Structure 1
Amino acid sequence: MKKFFVIIISSLICGCLGMPDSVVPVKQFEVDRYLGKWYEIARLDHSFERGLTNVTAEYRLRSDGGISVLNRGFSEKKGEWQEAKGKAYFVNNPDDGYLKVSFFGPFYGSYVIFYLDKENYQYAFVSGPDHSYLWLLSRKPKVEPSVSKAFKTLSAKLGFNTKNIIWVDQKGPWE
């Protein structure tokens, strides 16, 4: 029984570190250029972000070589800011845009950067462990229509349900 419990817990802990078959992490990733504040432009809906506007993610280097994560969004319903603090580590090596992120102790989920503006690091397309997790992040609260179109086109090609994309309100209120 003890072995069964260990196997179940291990599979739960490791089970969210995959990625959709169609998704490939970017190569030649430069973490120092990715650090800082990103605005969430679009996403697929999940309970942990439902109803949030003005969503941002901030990444900083940790002393242990990982990345600290601070996700923030405004809940119109509650009239207050909500935050989630986490940590991320590279799954393979720091040159791959493939990380594992945790907001809940030992439980990690995939964070796969599958497209990135490598010239300026101004926008990124990110997936989770399966096709139900998808984000468009940008250094600015708005992106050019060509970026939104490229995000939808590539995401659809990779098997994501782009009909369910939520375009995040980034109009304020700000702190």
Structure 2
Amino acid sequence: MTSNPPLPVRSLQPSRAAQPRFPWHHFEMRFSSTPRGARLARRLAGERLDAWGVPYGSATHDAVTLVVAELSANAVRHGHVPGRDFRLRLSAEGTALRVEVTDTRGERLPVRPAAEPPDAGGDVDGDGDGGRGLLLVAALTDRWGWFPCTDGPGKTVWAVVEVPSV
């Protein structure tokens, strides 16, 4: 019998806990500022997320595609300038998925929704139609905001979803 117990065998592979959930991924595309363009943005975002390892039907996939749908619809409805497209950017790095939607209408800025949803039949912006998109974005993401474009007219609305590493 030896007085020194054997040392545990260590793998040469790094532990999974030390690895980030995502390597760096990036997707960017322009879409027509139409309802069809917003639908296409949502569908392509869903395909991209699946390719990055966020499978269809998972809670994260559903949340991020809904955020893309809401921000794209807002860009079409509130940020539309005739003849100008909107831009979708998706990125994944570490444990974060980031969505950015840029439109060319800088004077119509997003307003943080109130903590309470609007009354039935009412809405946040007072035009009688919708008003819950940014409330959904705020509920589904860890943080969101906007910034003015530096390379031309417009604004970018962004949202981040943190995905726990596995």
TM-score (norm 2): 0.30
Structure with greater strand percent: 1
Which structure's CA Rg is the greater one? 2
Q: Name the structure with the higher helix share.
A: 2
